[in-house]
Structure 1
C-alpha cells in the first residue's frame, strides 16, 4: 500500500483517503458476503483495496505470477472492489482460450476503454457487435492484401524509406522510437489508402498522440481509475487520454468525411472506404451494426493498437541486437548466405533462414509485449474444477505462458535456441502465444509476422547496429517500461552501413 501512496500528490492523497474511508464504512455496514460457490482460491482481500497491496501496480503480470506460485494456476484476485479470475501457465491458458473459446470470448467493460469506445469497435466490444465487426475487419484486411504478395511489396517499399531515414543520421545516435515510422505507415496505408511522408505534419502529430496515449495507459493513476472509476475526479491520466484520443478522432473524422464523398464500390482502396461502403449497404437496416460510432471506433482501434505492437517489437529487436552483438553477427552471416547481394529480402526466404526466424520469435517471447487483455465469461461455467459465474472478469496471463518454466529452457534469458533444434533448424513452439490464441487472437497476426521479418532482415542486411559512444552493451537497459505494451526504455542506437 505504501507504494501506491507514494504515487499520489498530497491533495489527491487526502481526497482518496477520505473516499476510501467512506467506502470502508459502507463495506462494514453492509457486512461481508459469503458465497457458497466453488470459486477459485486466492489471497484474502482487505476491505476496499482488495489485494492491491500484493501487486506492483506497474507490472501486475509479474505480481500475479508470484501469487500463482502459492494458489495454483487458477486463482481469484481482487483489484480493489473488483473480482477477477487469473489463468496462468500454458496448459491452463490453452484450455481456456482454445478448448472453451466461446466461454471466454467476451470483454469486461474496462472503464477507460468504455469511456473511449462506448462498447464499439473491434477490440473492446462483445457479443454480436464484436463478432460482426471482427469478421468484417479480417475479411477487409485480407482484401487489402494482408498476408499476400501485395502487402509484401508495400512493406519492401516502406523498408526503402526507413533505410534512407536511418542513413540520414550518418552513423550518429538516434532514438529507438524512430523505428516506429515504417510499421505505423503500413497500417496507415491500409486504413487511409496512402502512406505518409515521415515529415508530414499529420503523420508526425498522429505518432506523437499515439505515443502519449500508450504511455498514459501504463500510468499507475490510470490503473487506479480503472479499479475505482467513481473516484475519477481525483485522477488526471484518464482525462488526458480522452483529450488526446479526441484529437486523433478529429483527424479520423476528417478522413471519414472525405472518403464518404467519393467511396466507389469498384475501387475500395482502404479500410475506411470498405467501412463506409458497408454502412451504405446497410443504411436501410434499423439494426445495422455499422453505425457512425462503430465506424469511428473500429478505425480508432486499428490506428492505436494496430500501430503500437509491431513498431514496439521492432525497437526491441534492434535494442537486443545491440545488446548481443554475437547474435547480430550470426544474423548477418545467414543473411549474406541466403540473400543475393543487391536483392531485397522476401518473406519466402525465412524458410531458409532458421536462425533469423528464431531470433525474431525469441524477441517476441522475451519481451512479453502485451501481458494480458482481460476477458469475461459469456455464460456460467465450470473450469478446472471451479465454478466461474457469467460476467466474471478473467485474465489469461500471456506473460506466464511466454515465461512458463515447463515450456522454455531459460525463460528469463534472451535465447534464440528456444526455437532451434539440435541441427539448427527452426522449431515451432505451441507455447509461443504473443498474439494470444483462439477467438480473440490478434487480427493483424499475419501482417505483423511479415512486417517483422522483412523490416528486421532488411535493416540488418544494410546496417550494423551498436550503442552510442560511451555506452557499453551491458549498459543497455532491457527492463521494460510499462505502457499499454511493454516498451523499451528511451535509448539511442547508432547504425553503420555494412560493407
Structure 2
C-alpha cells in the first residue's frame, strides 16, 4: 500500500510538472509573446486575478507589464490590449488579423459554433453583411425604424403616466419597450405588455442575462469541459435557450406560411427569401437553424444592452438633477411639448447628445469588450501572437482615459462639449467597440437611446426616493432600484 501511495504521488507530481512545462512553453513560445504573470498549470492565472473585478486586475497588470500583456484563464491564452493606442492599432490598423471571434464557451455550446457571433471567415462576412444591409436599408416594411421606436416610446410614456407618481422599478418598463422595438423589426409587430408569451420571453432573457453574469458562468468560461458535467444554475442557460428557440421557430413557421416574396414585412421575411434564393447551394449559411440563432442573437443583444443603458442613465440623472434640468430646458427650446422628438433634432441638441454619450461612457457595460481572436500568426509591435489566441480589447481603458476625459470617474457631459457648447466627437468613444467586429446594432441602439431618453424627459421630471447625494457607485451595481416620475 505504501508503494502504491508513493507511486500515485510520484505520478501526480510528474503529470503536474509536465502540465506546468507545457503551459510555460505555450506562454513563452519563441520568446516573442507579450509578457505577463507566471501561469500555473491547469488553472492559469485564475488565482492571481480578482474575478469579481477583472477590469481592476487588468488595470493593475497593465501598470506592471504595459499596454500589451498575456494572461491565462485556465488553459486559455489571452493577450490583453490596454489603452487607446493599443486597441486602435489592433482593431483598426490591423483589423483583418484581429477580426476573429474569441472563445465564449457558453455561447459556443448554444450556437454549436455556427451562430453569426462565432463565425469567422467568409460565412461570417456574408451573414454580417446581410444583417447590416437588412437593418440599414430595408426599413423593416412600411414603417421606418425611427417610426417603430417612436411608436414604442408613446406606449412607454403612457405606461409611465399610469404609475400616478408612485414609486416603481423602471427595469421591466424599459426592458419591455426596448424588446418590443426588436420584436417589431424581427417579427413585424410589437406585443402587448401583458401578453403571456411576451412576458415569458422577457423573463427567459432576463434570467439568462443574470446567469451569464454569475460566478457559475465564470467557472464555465474557465473550465467548460468539467462544468458541462456539474449540475448548477448555469445549466438553466441551455434550457432557456431551447425555450427561446421554440418560440422563434413558431414565429418563423407563421411567417413562412404567409410569406409574400415581393413584399417582405420584417427581418424574418427577408431571411426566408434569402434561404429560398440559396436553396440550390448546399454550402449556404442561410438556413432555418441559422435564422433561429440570428434572431435569438438580435433579441439578446438588442434587449439587454440598450435597456440597461437607459436604466443606469435614469439613475445617473437622479443623482445629478442639475444635469436633468439642463436637458429639460434644451428639449423645451428645440422640441417643445406638443410634438414628438425625431432624429433630426439631435444635431440641434448638443447637450442632450452629450448626456447620452456620457451615460454610455461612464457605465461601460462591456468593460473588456467582446473577446476577439487573431486569424493567423500576427506580428504586433515587437511581439508575435499565435493564430487563435484570444484577445481582450479593454474598452474601459479607452473610455476612462484621463488624457481624453478629465476626471473620467465623474459623470460630466462636458466631456463631449467644446468651449462653445457644441457637441464634440471623440475617437476614444467606443462603447460598441470598433473595427470589423463592432456591434451590429450600433446605429439602432444610438437611435433608441436618444429618442427614448428624450421622450421620457420631455414628459416627466425624475424624482429619487433618497437624497441624490446618497446615490453612490454601489447603487449602480444593484440590478433594481425605484424612482418616481412626475408629469411636466
Both proteins in one fold, TM over 0.5: yes
Report if the CA contact (8 A) 2:302-2:445 is conserved.
no
Distance in 2 separating the partners of 1:431 and 1:32? 40
- Summarize the alignment of residues 46-445 of structure 1 with structure 2, pairs less than 5 Å apart: 46-145=40-139, 150-177=144-171, 178-232=173-227, 233-234=229-230, 236-371=232-367, 372-445=369-442
Once the two structures are superposed, residues 297-334 of structure 1 have per-residue CA deviations (whole angstroms, 9 ceiling, x without a partner) of 11111011121111111111111111111111111111
Q: Which runs of 5+ in 1 are unaligned?
A: 1-20, 482-486
SS at match of 1:283: coil
Superposition deviation, residue 408 in structure 1: 1.2
Deviations 1:49-106 (A, max 9, x none): 2211222213322221221111101000011221110001111101111111110111
Q: State whether structure 2 residue 457 is matched by structure 1 residue 460.
A: yes
The structure-2 alpha-carbon separation of the partners of 1:257 and 1:23, relative to structure 1 and needing over 3 Å to count, comes to farther
Q: Is 1:476 aligned with 2:471? A: yes
What CA distance in whole angstroms lies between the structure 1 residues aligned with 2:390 and 2:475?
A: 26
Unpaired runs of at least 5, structure 2 = 1-9
The answer for the alignment partner of 1:26 in structure 2 is: 15
Are the counterparts in 2 of residues 120 and 129 from structure 1 also a CA contact under 8 Å? no
The alpha-carbon deviation at position 25 of structure 1 amounts to 6.1
Distance 1:28 1:60 in 2: 28
* 132-141 or 333-342, larger mean C-alpha shift: 333-342
Deviations 1:364-391 (CA, angstroms, capped at 9, x unpaired): 0000011221111101111021100111
Q: Is the 8 A contact 1:225 1:235 kept in 2?
A: no
Alignment: residue pair count:
470
Aligned counterparts of 1:478 and 1:362: Cα–Cα separation in 2: 16
Provide the rounded CA distance (Å) in 2 between the counterparts of 1:478 and 1:280.
52
Contact 2:399 / 2:429 at 8 angstroms: preserved in 1? yes
Structure 2 counterpart of 1:496: 486
TM-score by length of 2: 0.92
The question of whether the paired residues in 2 share the 8 Å contact of 1:317 and 1:363 is answered with yes
Q: Distance in 2 between matches of 1:245 and 1:218?
A: 16
CA deviation string 1:29-54 (max 9, x = no partner): 45514332300001111233221122
Could you say what secondary structure the match of 1:174 adopts?
Answer: coil
* Aligned residues of 2:103 and 2:390 also touching (Cα < 8 A): no
On the 8 A contact 1:24/1:47 being kept in 2, the answer is no
In the superposition, relative to structure 1, how do residues 314 and 81 fare at CA in structure 2: closer, same or farther (>3 Å)?
same
Deviates more, 1:74-83 or 1:287-296: 287-296
Deviation at 1:406, TM superposition (A): 2.3
Checking the alignment, whether the CA contact within 8 Å between 1:467 and 1:494 is kept in structure 2 is yes
If the length of structure 1 is used for normalisation, what is the TM-score? Answer: 0.91
Aligned-residue offset at 1:480: 7.5
Alpha-carbon distance between aligned partners in 1 of 2:182 and 2:456, rounded to the nearest angstrom: 19
Further displaced range: 371-380 or 107-116: 107-116
